[in-house]
Amino acid sequence: MYKGEKDMALPSFIGPRWVEIDLDAVKFNVAQIKKLLSPETKLMAVVKADGYGFGAVEVSKAALEAGADMLGVTTIDEGLELREMEVEAPILVFTPFMPEEKDVFINYNFTATVGSYAAAETLLKENLEHSLKVHIKVNTGMNRLGMEPKEAVEFVSRVYGNPFIEVEGIYTHFAVTPRKNRNFVEKQFKTFMEVVSSLEDKGYSIPIKHVCSSAALLDMPHMHMDMVRVGTLIYGQYPFGYEKIIPLKDPWKVKAKIIHVKKVFPGEKIGYGGDFTVKKAVRIGIIPVGYADSFGTAPEMNPKNFLDLLKMIIKKIFAYFGIRAGMPLVKLADLPLRVLGRIGMQFTAVELPDENADVGSIVSVFIRRTNSSSRLPRVYISEKRVIGIRVPWGKRSCIQRQGEYS
C-alpha cells in the first residue's frame, strides 16, 4: 500500500494482480555496469522482447538516462514502439535487414544488421536516396546468423565510401558463456579479430566493434572493444554461475491480492481433477494468477546427459506429490506459501498460515520475466512513487501521486 498522510490504493482499473518495476533499480544497474567499462567503451542496452518483459519503452528511457549510449532490439516493430514513444537514441535491429524494410529503417533512423552475403548483394542493388547505417554481423561459430568472415571483408570492400551505406559497426555473437567453454569463446573472438585485422590492413576503419554480452563483459575485459551489448545485468540478474562482482538491484516484483478465503476440511479435494486431498483442516486463499500468466511454467529442455535426465525425473516425481522444487512460487511477506492442487489458467489456491492473511492481503508471486504475460499490468515506480502504468490493452498513463509506495 501507499504510505503518506493517508493510505492510497493503486488505480482500480489495473485489477488484483500486477508487476511492479523499479526504474531506479534499472538506473542503478546501468551505473554499476558502466563502472566495469573504460570511458571509451559504449554501452548498448538490449531491450528486445519488450525489454525482457519489463516494458521496452520504460526500460529504454531509464537506461539512457543512466548513461546507456545505444539500444538493441530484435525486430523493427520493437524499434517502432520506441520511436512512437519519442525514444530518439540510436537503435540497432538484430534481425538481418530485408530490402522491403529500407524505407522504415531510413525514416525511423534505425541501424540495420547485414547478416548474409545474399542480403548484402540485394542492398547494393537498392537505389537508396538517403544514408542507411549498418552493422555487419559475422558468423564466428554459432552458425545461426551472420556473414562468413571472407564475405564480410568482401562486402566492406565493395561498400566502403558509399555515401548511402554507412558501415558504422561490425559484431559477432558468442555461442556459449566463457564459464562454459572459454576456449570456444576465445576461438570465436580470434576469428572475429582476423576479420577486423583484414579490414584494417586494407585501410577500412569501422567505428563500433562489439562482441560482448553480459557474461563476456564480466569475464573477458579484453573483449569490451568499442561497445558491449548488455541485457541480463541491466535487469538485475547475473548469468548462471557468475559471482556478483558488482551490486545489482532487482527491479521486478509480481504481486497479487488474495481474492477469496475459505476453510477446507480433511478428505475434501482442491482444484481441477481432485488431485489434491486435504489431510488436515486448512485455510486457503485464492490468488488471481495461473498458467495463462506463465505462473508455474518453465522452459522444457532436453537433457544433455544422464545427470540432467535424473534431475528432470526427480522433479517430475516431486511434482506428482505436490512438491515443487526450487524457489517458492508465492510468498506472504517473507513467508513461503504452499500451492495446493493444480495451478489453473487464472486462479491458484495457496495455504494460508494464520488469520492475519485475508481477502485483500498482498502476496509476491514468482513468474519468469521473459515468460510473463503481457496481460499483467506493469506499474512503474521511481523515487518510491508510481510514475506510470501500462495496462493489457496497450494504454500507458503517466500519473503523479502524493505519498510513498512500498
80 and 105 Cβ atoms separated by less than 8 Å? no
> Rounded CA gap, 322 and 339, in Å?
8
Predicted pLDDT at 5: 29
pTM: 0.88
Helix count and strand count (H, E) for the chain = 10, 24
Stretch (H or E) spanning 45? strand 42-46
Predicted pLDDT at 326: 57
> Rounded CA gap, 58 and 47, in Å?
10
Predicted pLDDT at 240: 87
Phi, psi of 265 (to 5 degrees): -110, 160
369 and 299 Cβ atoms separated by less than 8 Å? no
Work out the burial of residue 5: count CB atoms within 10 Å of its CB; fewer than 13 is exposed, 13-18 middle, 19 or more buried: exposed
Q: Of 3, 150, 190, 272, which residue is the catalytic one?
A: 272
Q: Of 42, 48, 61, 133, which residue is the catalytic one?
A: 48
Q: Is 400 helix (H, G, I), strand (E, B) or coil?
A: coil
Domains in the chain: ranges and CATH: 23-235 (3.20.20.10), 259-359 (2.40.37.10)
Is 27 tagged catalytic?
A: no
- State the first-to-last Cα distance of the chain, in angstroms, to the nearest integer: 6
Is 48 tagged catalytic?
A: yes
Model confidence pLDDT, tens digit, residues 304-341: 777 777 877 877 776 666 555 555 689 998 899 999 99
Predicted pLDDT at 8: 42
Of the candidates 57, 80, 79, which has an alpha carbon nearest to the alpha carbon of residue 396?
A: 57
Predicted pLDDT at 6: 34
Q: Is 212 helix (H, G, I), strand (E, B) or coil?
A: strand
Q: Which residues of the chain have pLDDT under 50?
A: 1-8, 400-403
